[in-house]
Amino acid sequence: MKNKILFYLTVIMFFYHSNTVSAQESANPYKDSIVQLFGVVMTADSLRGIPSASVIVEGRGRGTITNYDGVFSIAVMKGDKITFSSIGFKNNTIHIPANLKENQYSVIQLLISDTSYLPATILKPRPTREQFERDFVNNRMPDDAYEIARKNTSPEMLSVIMKTLPSDGREAMNYQIRQQTNKYYYAGQLPPMNVLNPAAWADFINAWKRGDFKRKK
């Protein structure tokens, strides 16, 4: 009795699953709707292939670009909207037929040059040659990369950077080790007085000439 009940339940579930799959396949609008779109993107005036042109499937977040000869290939769906774009050309959009019987669709897309009109610029010469020579000599050109690098590595700039930038971890650790070394070296005795030390006075005079003791604003 139990075996018969299990057999009937299995048959019912099989027919139910078959009907559900058939209903889903019939209600699926994307069944057998994948299309291989391929073609070439060319200029409308000279019929030359446009390299690196964008081929975007609107609303899908997918796309591709053309190769050096303007050829492309991408998988799309029937009814999709495809937009072709490239710098210097006007965008163009096509629609893949929703009732397309085949699974391949080829296009030769022509893009028209996009002309941009800039505002007019009037160039006027200097009134006199003397004024031109004066302005040419006094005109300050911006520094190039070599000149900027030369200024940043000059001794004056390195001295300013050393005084303004804080010490990194290595410098701070070395300073701390030197302080501890001096403390342990003179442990149990008075440290020497540098009032009569010529080397200390030389360091003091050099620091005074550099302006190390000036009040910083």
Q: What stretch of H or E contains 175?
A: helix 169-185
What pLDDT digit, counting tens, does each position of 1-54 carry?
544 444 444 544 544 444 444 444 444 455 568 899 999 999 998 889 999 999
Nearest Cα to Cα of residue 97 among 68, 122, 77: 77
pLDDT at 13: 53
For the chain, what are the domain ranges? 34-111, 126-183
Pairing of strands 71-77, 34-43: antiparallel
Between 204 and 12, residue with greater pLDDT: 204
Q: What angle do CA 159, 163, 168 make, to 5 degrees?
A: 110
Pick the CATH number of 34-111 from 2.60.40.1120, 3.90.480.20, 3.40.50.620, 3.20.20.10: 2.60.40.1120
What pLDDT digit, counting tens, does each position of 94-120 carry?
999 988 888 899 999 999 998 878 888
